[in-house]
Structure 1
Amino acid sequence: MIRAADEEGLWNSFLHAPTAPAISQRALVQLYADVAGVAAPRVGRIPTWIMKAIGTVHAGTRELAEMVYQFDKPFVLDSSASEALLGLAPTPLETGAKATVDWWRTQA
């Protein structure tokens, strides 16, 4: 957004930060496991009806159950128009995953 602030012609427009191609949560978990050199954990899904049932007695789960629609279909953001206007490109997922894993390893 710093780049957009420098260009008056882009003020009062809608821009998206450059975004890497969408992948599934399972694929993202596998990518991080590969980068970290560990086995990928098992990834599962809690059925919506269970989330809603638990939500009747647990506020945190109730709030999560309200957002479950976000996990039923892909959330895809196309930032190509903003990328062209700003002259920017997203960081590849593999690069970001490696930087994140490397940073975590320094936190011990």
Structure 2
Amino acid sequence: SVTDDNGATTPKFQTVIGLEIHAQLQIPTKLFSSPLSNHFQQQLPISEQKKGANGHVSLFDLAIPGSLPILSGDAVKAAVISSHALSCTIHPVSRFERKHYTYAE
């Protein structure tokens, strides 16, 4: 902490509060990879739909080391439109961090 001329102490840290919002986007691909989303797959003719839960995954979806995300331009566009509609501030830079989980089972 820092002490000012009046003897008051102020902490040397800054509180940062984030907001996480989840939305179901109706876009053709997943948010961070290029395979078609479930929503878009269901709109294709049955002969073109991939069967099973593992029918539309990429190396990134499987967390293969070295695989990198591909951010969906459609998702960014939807976020910008929503932000403007809600009078939100859009920051010029966004940072994404991948969470990795390990389960004992």
Calculate the TM-score normalised by the size of structure 1. Answer: 0.25
Calculate the TM-score normalised by the size of structure 2. Answer: 0.25
Higher relative contact order (CA 8 A, sep 6+): 1
Structure (1 or 2) with the larger CA radius of gyration: 2
